[in-house]
Structure 1
Amino acid sequence: MKPSTQSLSRQRRRLLQLAAGLPIFSSIWEPLLTPAHAAVASNALSRVRPGDPDWPSESQWNALGKQVGDALIKVQSPLTACVNAPDSAACQQLFKELKNPYFLSDEVGLTQTLGWVDAWTSTPSVYAVAARNTTDVVAAINFARRNNLRLVVKGGGHSYQGNSNSPDSLLVWTRRMNSITVQDAFVGTGCQGHASPVRAVTVGAGALWAHVYDAVTTQAGGYVQGGGCLTVGVAGLIQSGGFGSFSKAYGLAAGSLLEAEIVTADGVVRIANACTNPDLFWALKGGGGGSLGVVTRLTLRVHELPETFGAVNMTIKAASAPAFRRLIGLMVDFYHRELMNPHRGEQIRFRRDNVLAISMVFQGLSRSEAQSVWQPFMDTLAAAPDDFKADFPPLTILALPARTLWAPAMLKKLPDLISTDDRPNAPVDNVFWSGNTGEAGQVLHGYESAWLPAALLQDDQRQTLADTLFAASRQWGVSLHLNKGLAGAPAEAIAASRDAATNPAVLDAFALLIAGMEGPPAYPGIPGHEPDTGAARRNAQAIGRAMDEVRKLVPNPGSYVGESNFFNANWQQAFWGSNYSRLLTVKDQYDPEGLFFVHHGVGSERWSADGFTKLV
């Protein structure tokens, strides 16, 4: 479907304003408003934009600047350099830098994902407070509330939903709040006498997981449950629930949250833990980032470090579609029999070209122990050489001392697995998995996820599950993220995750099924660097058809808020299930006027799609 003339006009106006370095007055969200919403919006409370009579004057912005010092930034997108000179050396260098996630996280005007075709485009705020401390955050929130501004919060900037950016807004940017302190005996505020001291790590909201893992594991010999992607921000992941490679052993990352400091909409600094503001504490554990306030500091439980971490990789090509259907069945049976336990995590992928790709991890096992588990599956494949061909070597198993997994010096010896921040004078611990390079600066075409209940692995259901995975793979490749479903996890991990706001469907799921596609860094209106909208729409349709096959088996699946479909109409139920009504109650208590808005966040149904106009 071609965009309307009106839509094209908006795009041209947005691009011209970007080129001039001016605030973007027209919202990219307007095409998503229904006529009914537009009619209601015309008579409803609206936040102010640049050019409106109530937009803060220069003297008011200067006053905020005096409060926060050099933390107040007038934001200009680096993409401005490419608007009129797309072939320039500066533009070419910028698009190279867009593949460096550390460059993206350190740039106030950019986000890790540059957009989602037909959904949103990364657009900078007018001003940002690059907060250095909680006092700066308080000043920004009070200024936004008093002046009726659209407020945005960004830490690592990894939101697929576009929630780390909004035009015509004030941004609270927490990236500079990145301190990391390991504590041997932490007791939460108000919990003295009610809780035993535990080992913990206290982290600033802007810290990235690569640096937290290095501090906790490499330097302190402990383990903290965080994200698999090393450049994800700590605060955003915890508030989304959070999964890492070893969540099958340790549960949701949010399940390890002991305490948070948060600034709420009234500008009050609050402590949230099991003893102080316990309702807010519960909501922060998976209720979604940016909906309840600005988290400034988190304290997380440090677990005992296992002796080993390891990885298993294998790629198998089936000779035909019927052989691939059989291969999927063999894999599902083997997973149920041997792999659904706390030792293992990560992915099994089913591709359209009849390829099964295994990229799994393990913890607490030796290499020989891991090999012995996989050997029966390898023997089954070897018994059918005409049907199945494995890459050489057919099975790669790596095991290493757990304390070295995130050590930058060790990782840099693995250039096939690790990339580094190649900017001059970049910190030596700025490393990231090469497998995540495709996500840096990406433009999403489509993305969907669904939790698959463990009941599908019962004897009378496994073949139906395998047939569904095969049918989905005829439309688009799908992957099972086995660490993102907690069935098979230890009881204590289940209990900690149950006491979180994330959809309870995760507790009984054996995996999160994901289907998605992205394109390289691109931006509308920059010649030679524009998104391929035609391919994006075709890919999105194919992803939708694959998920239609999945929904035949699981009609109303839960979905992980951090990795989900932008257009999910049933998002309240999908993201939070039976927890949503309780989350809305907490929202009403701490943010009754809706200062904090994110797309498909708690209470967002009360606002227009851009978060500027109150509907109810």
Structure 2
Amino acid sequence: MFAKPTDRSHHIDWSLLRSKVQERLIAVQSPLAAVADAGGAGSEELFRRIKNPYYLGDEPSLTQTLGWIDAWTSQPSAMAVAAESSSDIAAAVDFARQSGVRLVVKGGGHSYFGNSNAAGSLLVWTRRMDGMQLHDSFRGEGWPSSAPAVPAVSVGAGAIWGRVYDKVTRSGRYVQGGGCLTVGVAGFVQGGGFGSLSKAFGTGAANLLEAEVVTADGRVRIVNEHVEPELFFALRGGGGGTFGVVTRMTLKTHPLPSFIGASLFGIAAKSELAWRTLVDRILSFYSDNLFNSTWGEQIRFAPGRKLSIAMVCHGLDQNQVEAVWRPFLSWVAERPNDYALAGEPLLIAIPGSKFWDPASLRGLSGIVLQDDRPDASPDNVFWATNLGEAGQILNAYESVWLSKDLLRPHRRQSLADALVKASNYWPVSLHTNKGLAGGSTEALTATRRTATNPEVLDAFALLICAADAKPAWPGIPGHEPDIVRGRQEASHVTAAMAAIRRLAPNAGCYVSEANYFDAHWKTAYWGENYQRLARAKRSYDPSNLFHGHHTVEFD
């Protein structure tokens, strides 16, 4: 059943595929391999370029993450179909099925498990399929007459969120995508997909209205809740590149928030007692003021008794954002012997029409960075906070959903104790937008219909603990992965997560941000939805043409 051939690309006759897709079949040449073969010559310039996420996305041989210690290393495909249409993709799928060559799919290339690359494989590269179409009143294929038309946007599989946000917000609407501007839409939605405002608008998967997908038999299908609903369900959080190759998605749009705000600051506690008090204080403040559909993003607890706030809100103007935080910041300011702010807090509110506008973002020096290639579009911008992810090597990555019950007064002390203990080993972050408890009825109702683990509906946050390193690749002098350090940091992550798991021993996690080595991945990623996904997989891909690490029917 498991069609998992070894690298036999040198035995493949590519001429038949070339006759179908012509010049869109391209040989994949890795700049990393070229530098390694040259003994490291040119490595400094290459690794400088690798810190640019747009360069990584435009290079078919590379992935946004270059590997995971003791797990995988990014390897180039032998050939790629630089797809421009669903017929190109169907030709690639048919060829892979008939020849036995390994097939992988890449849009944005952000898979932490490395599922968008494989040595000697055939890559379906969707980067060129980035078209977008706005709909004032969208009705899906086969929808009953009773189903109302809704505003929507259709996007090609190669579109990235920064450009989709810009297109949609210029029309006065909002689409729920990811926080990172260079993440690909298709993989994001298939993994579930959380953005800063998911507590208000749900996951990316919850907003999917319809998809065009090429399945393992080479058929191009249109699927939605009324046409092939089981395949549609699987595409809404069942994992990217698992059930077929998505060529187009249509997503619901929402009224554009009047303002998008951000709150960024850090605090250091000067004693253990002050640290424990601060952790309890921020949890109480969050529960009373931020645990709602208005706020999302991160609260980070780090060694050295450091608290970092990076929260995003919608619908609040500048005065309102400042008013929300005033009691907490005043409490800190009144205790100079216990706490020190790491600079002046940044509290801002930007009109919703400007928050994803590249021209406006370019003015946020230090917060937003640009693609520095000479021929790059000035619209190629990205958040500075995502710079460290470009070309990263992962040493460890774990996540766990934390129930809203932990915010109750009688349980909050246990949560604070666990966070204090965990942060002695390694930083841990509460991603409050990746747990939907406290969110809008719309977000909860729509997400309940997706394949994402239902635990997300009860969770107030997804706790993430991860360790990464700068870009590296085996065989390049001065840029080899540091395996010893990587394993040491992984042990710190394990220790930190042990403190958290004692509080939530059987909690699930988010499939796109999970532990590569999780032995209980089926229930952790999808809970009660796994068996339904497995049935869809057996129905639409019985030979497991589309497979990767910890994908449905992986074993």
- Report the 3-state secondary structure (helix = DSSP H, G, I; strand = E; otherwise coil) of the residue aligned with 2:353: helix
What code does the residue aligned with 1:56 have?
I
Residue 134 of structure 2 corresponds to residue 168 of structure 1:
no
**C-alpha separation in 2, matches of 1:161 and 1:595:** 18
Partner of 1:449: 399
Cα deviation, residue 517, structure 1: 1.4
CA contact (8 A) 2:9 2:120 kept: no
Residue 310 of structure 2 corresponds to residue 359 of structure 1:
yes
Residue 179 of structure 2 corresponds to residue 179 of structure 1:
no
- Report the 3-state secondary structure (helix = DSSP H, G, I; strand = E; otherwise coil) of the residue aligned with 1:461: helix
- Report the 3-state secondary structure (helix = DSSP H, G, I; strand = E; otherwise coil) of the residue aligned with 1:196: coil
- Report the 3-state secondary structure (helix = DSSP H, G, I; strand = E; otherwise coil) of the residue aligned with 1:543: helix
Where in structure 2 are the equivalents of 1:62-81 lying within 5 Å? 62-81=15-34
Cα deviation, residue 48, structure 1: 5.3
Partner of 2:102: 150
Residue 248 of structure 2 corresponds to residue 297 of structure 1:
yes
**C-alpha separation in 1, matches of 2:3 and 2:341:** 61
**C-alpha separation in 1, matches of 2:6 and 2:270:** 61
Partner of 2:323: 372
Match of 2:529 among 579, 583, 587: 579
Partner of 1:401: 351
Alpha-carbon displacement from aligned partner over 1:350-383 (angstroms, at most 9, x marks no partner): 0101011111111001121122222221232233
CA contact (8 A) 2:422 2:496 kept: yes
Partner of 1:603: 553
Partner of 1:98: 50
Partner of 1:307: 258
Where in structure 2 are the equivalents of 1:481-496 lying within 5 Å? 481-496=431-446
Percent identity among equivalent residues? 52
CA contact (8 A) 1:309 1:402 kept: yes
Match of 1:555 among 499, 505, 510: 505
**C-alpha separation in 2, matches of 1:78 and 1:84:** 10
CA contact (8 A) 2:176 2:203 kept: yes
Partner of 1:419: 369
Match of 1:342 among 275, 287, 293: 293
| 1:198–1:579 CA distance, 2 compared to 1 (3 A) | same
CA contact (8 A) 1:81 1:91 kept: no
**C-alpha separation in 1, matches of 2:238 and 2:291:** 27
- Report the 3-state secondary structure (helix = DSSP H, G, I; strand = E; otherwise coil) of the residue aligned with 2:410: coil
Partner of 2:5: 47
Residue 332 of structure 2 corresponds to residue 332 of structure 1:
no
What code does the residue aligned with 2:43 have?
C
What code does the residue aligned with 1:140 have?
A
**C-alpha separation in 1, matches of 2:184 and 2:342:** 36
Partner of 1:208: 160
Partner of 1:9: none
Partner of 1:20: none
Cα deviation, residue 76, structure 1: 1.6
- Report the 3-state secondary structure (helix = DSSP H, G, I; strand = E; otherwise coil) of the residue aligned with 1:298: strand
What code does the residue aligned with 1:470 have?
V
CA contact (8 A) 1:86 1:528 kept: no
CA contact (8 A) 1:449 1:515 kept: yes
Residue 276 of structure 2 corresponds to residue 276 of structure 1:
no
Cα deviation, residue 50, structure 1: 2.0
TM-score after normalising by structure 1: 0.88
What code does the residue aligned with 1:223 have?
Y
Alpha-carbon displacement from aligned partner over 1:202-231 (angstroms, at most 9, x marks no partner): 0000100010001001x2111000000000
What code does the residue aligned with 1:374 have?
W
Alpha-carbon displacement from aligned partner over 1:241-285 (angstroms, at most 9, x marks no partner): 001111111111111100000000000111111111111111111
**C-alpha separation in 1, matches of 2:536 and 2:129:** 26
| 1:66–1:499 CA distance, 2 compared to 1 (3 A) | same
What is the number of equivalent residue pairs in this alignment?
555
Partner of 2:477: 527
Partner of 1:136: 88
CA contact (8 A) 1:48 1:148 kept: no
- Report the 3-state secondary structure (helix = DSSP H, G, I; strand = E; otherwise coil) of the residue aligned with 1:449: strand
- Unaligned 5+ segments in structure 1 are 1-40, 606-616
- Report the 3-state secondary structure (helix = DSSP H, G, I; strand = E; otherwise coil) of the residue aligned with 1:414: coil
Alpha-carbon displacement from aligned partner over 1:292-314 (angstroms, at most 9, x marks no partner): 00000000001001110111112
CA contact (8 A) 1:308 1:400 kept: yes
CA contact (8 A) 1:347 1:481 kept: yes
CA contact (8 A) 2:28 2:61 kept: yes
Residue 81 of structure 2 corresponds to residue 125 of structure 1:
no
**C-alpha separation in 2, matches of 1:262 and 1:62:** 25
**C-alpha separation in 2, matches of 1:505 and 1:475:** 27
- Report the 3-state secondary structure (helix = DSSP H, G, I; strand = E; otherwise coil) of the residue aligned with 2:31: coil
Cα deviation, residue 567, structure 1: 0.7
**C-alpha separation in 1, matches of 2:86 and 2:346:** 47
CA contact (8 A) 1:189 1:271 kept: yes
Partner of 2:208: 257
RMSD over aligned Cα, in angstroms? 1.4
What code does the residue aligned with 2:331 have?
T
CA contact (8 A) 2:200 2:442 kept: no
- Report the 3-state secondary structure (helix = DSSP H, G, I; strand = E; otherwise coil) of the residue aligned with 1:79: helix
- Unaligned 5+ segments in structure 2 are none
| 1:51–1:364 CA distance, 2 compared to 1 (3 A) | closer
Match of 2:193 among 235, 239, 242: 242
| 1:70–1:95 CA distance, 2 compared to 1 (3 A) | same
**C-alpha separation in 1, matches of 2:8 and 2:101:** 10
**C-alpha separation in 1, matches of 2:4 and 2:423:** 45
What code does the residue aligned with 1:372 have?
A
What code does the residue aligned with 1:250 have?
F
**C-alpha separation in 2, matches of 1:321 and 1:492:** 42
**C-alpha separation in 2, matches of 1:505 and 1:45:** 32
Residue 461 of structure 2 corresponds to residue 461 of structure 1:
no
What code does the residue aligned with 2:99 have?
N
What code does the residue aligned with 1:111 have?
T
Partner of 1:24: none
Partner of 1:498: 448
| 1:67–1:514 CA distance, 2 compared to 1 (3 A) | same
**C-alpha separation in 1, matches of 2:273 and 2:386:** 32
Match of 1:384 among 312, 335, 345: 335
CA contact (8 A) 2:8 2:101 kept: no
**C-alpha separation in 2, matches of 1:46 and 1:582:** 23
**C-alpha separation in 2, matches of 1:213 and 1:230:** 9
**C-alpha separation in 1, matches of 2:3 and 2:138:** 45
TM-score after normalising by structure 2: 0.98
**C-alpha separation in 1, matches of 2:184 and 2:192:** 13
**C-alpha separation in 2, matches of 1:428 and 1:464:** 48
**C-alpha separation in 1, matches of 2:205 and 2:113:** 20
Match of 1:544 among 494, 498, 503: 494
- Which deviates more from structure 2 when the two are superposed, residues 97-106 or residues 417-426? 417-426
**C-alpha separation in 1, matches of 2:293 and 2:447:** 14
- Report the 3-state secondary structure (helix = DSSP H, G, I; strand = E; otherwise coil) of the residue aligned with 1:518: strand
**C-alpha separation in 2, matches of 1:572 and 1:273:** 24
**C-alpha separation in 2, matches of 1:485 and 1:49:** 40
